[in-house]
Amino acid sequence: MEVYMAGPEHECRQGRKCKARIKNAEGQFHGVGVERPESLCRPCEDSAFEAIRQLSHDYGQLQGARTDRRVTASAPRVSGSSERPIPIQPAVDALMEEVDDEALRWTLRITRGDELPPDPGSRVARCITILSANLGTLIDLPVQVVTAWFPYPNGGDWDGHLQLDGVDAVLRLARLHERAVTMLGVDEPKMMWLRESCHVCGLAALTMDPEGELITCRGCRNVWHQQEFARLNMAA
């Protein structure tokens, strides 16, 4: 069981966005304590890992959304062409490219350049399979210099470089899942965060499914029925 002491030397990389964030005496939120600098707490790590595992499914959903007539606008016909216009959603297409690029970037660093499928859909599926099986290795990667695209104020992009470590990689991939969920309008199960701290590990990491009867601690991973939790919490 992982327990964080009061007044930690380091705090979760997510800062005030930390899943187990703590409020100080001034009412400000900050990340829960962690043992290593620039690392994630267990709840943030688990959440990001689960998001990465969903990316292959997200990509398939985005593929369907690209040509969904309910959410896309038809591209103009090419002059002289008798073919029907192909509906394209630029934002969806761009996000798919980002998922492909980011997954490929970090997979190549895990596999050290193993050959991957040329088809984007198959490539993303293979990359996410590899990354999901090596999440511990991924998050522990040292700083890497990577190429990135930056927008010009008046349009267009220019290529530059970023220094990213394994935690950056995990968070960037996880945010792609969050963007996909938002773009697709998919309603993920809404977990309600409780104000109480866990009586086992002491973290403010308790969630409850509003439609269920179970309370889960994202810190120590214990699960209780609501009535049992109330009894134990009062006795603690």
pLDDT digits (tens, 9 = 90+) for 173-229: 999 999 998 888 755 556 677 778 777 777 777 888 766 677 877 767 677 777 777
**pLDDT reported for residue 229:** 78
Q: Are residues 50 and 150 in the same domain?
A: yes
Name the pLDDT band for 87 (thresholds 50, 70, 90).
Answer: very low
Q: Are residues 138 and 224 in the same domain?
A: no
What backbone phi and psi angles, to 5 degrees, belong to 217? -95, 120
Q: Are residues 124 and 14 in the same domain?
A: no
82 domain residue, yes or no = no
Whats the size of the chain, residue-wise?
236
**pLDDT reported for residue 77:** 41
Q: Are residues 70 and 30 in the same domain?
A: no
Q: How distant, in Å, are the alpha carbons of 39, 100, 217, 220 from that of 24? A: 20, 40, 21, 22
Q: How far apart are CA 43 and CA 203, in angstroms?
A: 10
Helices (H), ranges, 84-191: 90-111, 120-133, 135-139, 166-184
**pLDDT reported for residue 111:** 94
Q: Which domain holds residue 6?
A: 1-39
Burial of 41 from C-beta contacts in 10 A (0-12 / 13-18 / 19+): buried
Model confidence at 235: pLDDT above 80 = no
Q: How far apart are CA 101 and CA 45, in angstroms?
A: 22
Q: Are residues 50 and 152 in the same domain?
A: yes
Which pLDDT tens digit goes with each residue over 19-78?
A: 888 777 777 888 888 888 889 998 899 989 999 999 998 998 888 887 654 444 334 444
Name the pLDDT band for 80 (thresholds 50, 70, 90).
Answer: very low
Is the Cβ–Cβ distance between 75 and 85 less than 8 Å? yes
Q: How far apart are CA 64 and CA 172, in angstroms?
A: 23
Q: Are residues 210 and 134 in the same domain?
A: no
Q: How far apart are CA 77 and CA 69, in angstroms?
A: 16
Q: Are residues 180 and 194 in the same domain?
A: no
CA gyration radius, the chain: 21
Q: Are residues 61 and 176 in the same domain?
A: yes
198 domain residue, yes or no = yes
* Helix (H) or strand (E) run with residue 233 in it: helix 226-235
Q: Supply 119's token pair.
A: 């088809």
Q: Supply 110's token pair.
A: 């895990």
- The domain tally of the chain equals 3
Record the pTM.
0.67
Q: Are residues 233 and 123 in the same domain?
A: no
180 domain residue, yes or no = yes
DSSP state of 55: H
Q: Are residues 113 and 149 in the same domain?
A: yes
**Mean of the pLDDT values across residues 138-148?**
90
81 domain residue, yes or no = no
What backbone phi and psi angles, to 5 degrees, belong to 144? -120, 145
Q: Are residues 212 and 148 in the same domain?
A: no
Q: Are residues 91 and 120 in the same domain?
A: yes
Which pLDDT tens digit goes with each residue over 107-126?
A: 999 998 888 999 999 999 99
135 domain residue, yes or no = yes
80 domain residue, yes or no = no
